[in-house]
Each structure stands twice: as structure tokens, then as C-alpha cells.
Amino acid sequence: MEIWDSALSWQEKEAQYESMVKEVDQSLLETFSFEKAMKSIEHNQGMVVYSGKWALKTNADKEMLLGELMRDGTYSWMNPLYIPPILLGLTWGLKEKRGRSGSFFSRFFK
């Protein structure tokens, strides 16, 4: 539950959220189509692909999960009954090049 913060207007909160969405897109090192995004997550357990406020991954049962970026910077994950058509035309990507082990931060704190 979000607590009311009178110091930030809803316009400021919306601007912060839009800034987070843009940061996601700017952080993508490799981009591709929705079709390639689906093939990538199906063949690489644990891989997450991103597009704006959306993210895709598979769970342990190899079911596709759709994530939506929340205002706190986390993703809310769901197992959709169908693929929303809006996702099909988006450019998807990875935040890290494939073939590297560990997360971005783990490479610095070994």
C-alpha cells in the first residue's frame, strides 16, 4: 500500500516513473524482436528481457511470466492467460551481454 506523500504531486510521481521506464530502455545492450525475446527466455532459464515498463521471463515450469515495472523499481510478475497484443511490436532487450556470468554488481564484489 502506498502512503500519501504530500511533498510529491501525482505529476511528479508520474514523471519519476516515466524516467525509470526510459532508463530501462537506455540500459539495454542488445535489442531484438518479441519473437526472439520469447525464444531467448524459453531456452535460457533465468534470463529476463525488458521493454520499457515490461519484462518477460520463464519460471521453473517453463511458463512465461510477464512483469510490469512498479513505482518502487521492482516488477510485479504474473502468468498471463494470453499475450497482450501491445507487446508484440515492442523492441525487447537484455541489460547485460549474454555469456557473462553473474549479475552486473557481482562482477565488482567477488
Count of domains for the chain:
1
Dihedrals φ, ψ of 85, to 5°?
-55, -30
Global confidence as pTM: 0.78
Name the residue range of residue 58's domain: 10-95
| Residue 35 belongs to a domain | yes
Rg (alpha carbons) of the chain, rounded to whole number? 15
Q: CA 44 to CA 91: how far, in whole Å?
A: 19
Average pLDDT over residues 64-79: 96
Dihedrals φ, ψ of 109, to 5°?
-115, 55
pLDDT digits (tens, 9 = 90+) for 14-53: 999 999 999 999 999 999 999 999 999 999 988 999 999 9
Nearest to 49 by CA among 62, 77, 30, 72: 30
| Residue 31 belongs to a domain | yes
| Residue 58 belongs to a domain | yes
| Residue 110 belongs to a domain | no
